[in-house]
Amino acid sequence: MRALRILLILVVVFGGLFVAADRAAVYFAEGQIADKIRSSQGLSSQPQVSIKGFPFLTQVLGSSVDEVDIGLDGVSATADGHQVQVTEVSAVLKNVKIDSSFSSATAAEASGSAHISYADLAKSAPKGATVGYAGADRAAKGQVKLSGRLADVLDGAGIDMPSSVRALLDGQDVTAYSTVSLEGGDTVRLRAETLPELPVPGLNEQVRDVVNYDLKLDGLPSTIKLDRITASESGLQFAGTGTDVSLAG
């Protein structure tokens, strides 16, 4: 009985040491991965990295990690020269294979998401216009609302108007409901679905040309190829998936 008791104590002690060593290895690896992602993606802040699965050391010996979750509080990107804040940036990498030198890794599967508020989107909207929530029904169709004083929108686009036309438009607002789509993983495309009937012939098409525009985003992390976009009450939500995603430096 005494020998069995001693054996059990040794098992508990060595088990505790193994768990402590395993957790320390995870903590170190998470820091290394965060550094690698920050340098390879050119990020201004350190990402949060969480390695899933236990024990970690046996995963490393097999050169494969079950899952790595990555999060960022925010990323500064540019939209047609205007700085915008991309928030709620996250990625889930699964079946991550580590190369023999431990200098790079490749995820067999990956998924990610990001968010841009309407306030940030408005920074690169046509002059005189703002971008906002279109309501639950229209948002479900992927639509946003562009609105502003009609004369200001036309002036911002450099469209000359005779004084008689300007008098007709004085104080008139215009609202367009535009469908948003994502092109090439980095370009938001807005296309007006509806416009109010305007009092001057041909003016509708001029306004449509102004509110139909593409918004190219630069500086987003390239770990995930974003390919879906939805409109919510607070802004635009981006999502995407990838395969064989490299984390090489």
Residue 140's alpha-carbon distances to 15, 131, 235, in angstroms, are 52, 16, 13
Mean pLDDT (whole number) for 178-206: 82
Residue 4's alpha-carbon distances to 1, 11, 18, 178, in angstroms, are 5, 10, 21, 74
pLDDT greater than 60 at residue 206: yes
**pLDDT tens figures, 43-91:** 777 888 887 766 766 666 666 778 888 888 767 777 666 777 888 888 8
**pTM for this prediction:** 0.75
Residue 136 pLDDT grade (very low, low, confident, very high; cuts 50, 70, 90): very high
Burial class (CB in 10 A: 0-12, 13-18, 19+), 22: middle
pLDDT greater than 60 at residue 222: yes
Distance, CA of 113 to CA of 132 (rounded, Å): 20
